[in-house]
Chain A
Amino acid sequence: EAGVTQFPSHSVIEKGQTVTLRCDPISGHDNLYWYRRVMGKEIKFLLHFVKESKQDESGMPNNRFLAERTGGTYSTLKVQPAELEDSGVYFCASSQVTGRIGSPLHFGNGTRLTVT
């Protein structure tokens, strides 16, 4: 079974530019999450899709961030325009929608974003 894949693995852009990150979840996983780790801080939640619907976007920092999951398969996270404080590692994770116990999240290797 292929894991969660993220592209690109590393992106360096200038302040004010636009960057789009992509995540392909594990096949059959309806839950898709975006997380971010800023240097020196904890990994923090950004948002959660169930299929193509945004279930929870309470962690999105501001309206410069736009996430989509058209068709309920892969997802993109666009940052426009990028600011210096957006630098960090962006992780995508996916899980199955199961019963009460839930299922664990499986993470991709992340996209390391550097804004200069």
Chain B
Amino acid sequence: QKEVEQDPGPLSVPEGAIVSLNCTYSNSAFQYFMWYRQYSRKGPELLMYTYSSGNKEDGRFTAQVDKSSKYISLFIRDSQPSDSATYLCAMKRGSQGNLIFGKGTKLSVKP
């Protein structure tokens, strides 16, 4: 079983839709959870960084962590064509530890 599972998609939505992206994980030792956005031929760009359980909101983006279910989510409100990218979840055990990534979900927002 992989440590982090993420549906690779692709996911296609119309502009303005609410997008829900998810990852599940198996290791209860993970405490730090991140979402990265990656455009083609670019490096991953940090979107959200959360520690432990709960919600975090930043503009149109909301990250949720449910440690009891080992499940994290990223919601994008009022999606825009510029949100079209691959979204990667990542997590780590300790504050300085290495990241474990999901495979990434490719999102396309159609105008």
Q: A100-B95, A102-B96 are in contact. Are A42 and B46 (CB under 8 A)?
A: no
Complex contact B44–A43 (CB within 8 A): yes
Nearest residue (CB) in A for B34 is A104
Q: Is the CB of A107 within 8 A of B45?
A: yes
From the candidates A31, A43, A59, A110, name the one contacting B88 in the complex (CB within 8 A): A43
Please give me the residue from chain B that is nearest to A58 by CB atom: B98
- Beta-carbon contacts of A41-79 to B below 8 Å, as 1s and 0s? 111110010100001100100000000000000000000
Please give, as numbers and ranges, the residues of chain B lying within 8 Å of A15 by CB-CB distance: none
Which of A4, A35, A43 has its CB near the most chain B CB atoms (within 10 A)? A43
Interface residues on B, range: 20 to 34
Q: Closest CB-CB distance, B51 to chain A, in whole Å?
A: 6
Q: Is the CB of A106 within 8 A of B46?
A: yes
Flag A91-112 by CB within 8 Å of B: 1 or 0 each. 1000101111110111111100
Instruction: Please determine whether B98 and A48 come into contact, CB atoms closer than 8 angstroms.
Output: yes
The interface residues of chain B lying within 8 Å CB-to-CB of A107 are: 36, 43-45
What residues of chain A lie closer than 8 Å to B90, measured between beta carbons? 43
Give the bracket for the number of chain A residues in contact with chain B. Answer: 20 to 34
Give B22-77 interface residues, CB cut-off 8 Å to A.
32, 34, 36, 41-46, 49, 51
Cβ-neighbour of B43 out of A4, A59, A97, A99 (below 8 A): A4
Known: A99-B95, A102-B95, A102-B96. A110 touches B43 (CB 8 A): yes
Task: Determine the chain A residues whose CB is within 8 A of the CB of B98 once the complex forms.
Answer: 33, 45, 48, 56, 59
Can you name 10 A-B residue pairings with CB atoms under 8 Å?
A: A4-B43, A31-B96, A45-B100, A56-B98, A95-B96, A99-B95, A105-B46, A107-B36, A108-B43, A109-B42
Q: B-side interface residues toward A, CB under 8 Å?
A: 2, 4, 32, 34, 36, 41-46, 49, 51, 88, 90, 92, 94-96, 98-104
The 9 A-B residue pairs with the shortest CB-CB distance, nearest first, are A102-B95, A107-B43, A45-B98, A43-B101, A109-B43, A104-B49, A107-B44, A42-B101, A104-B46
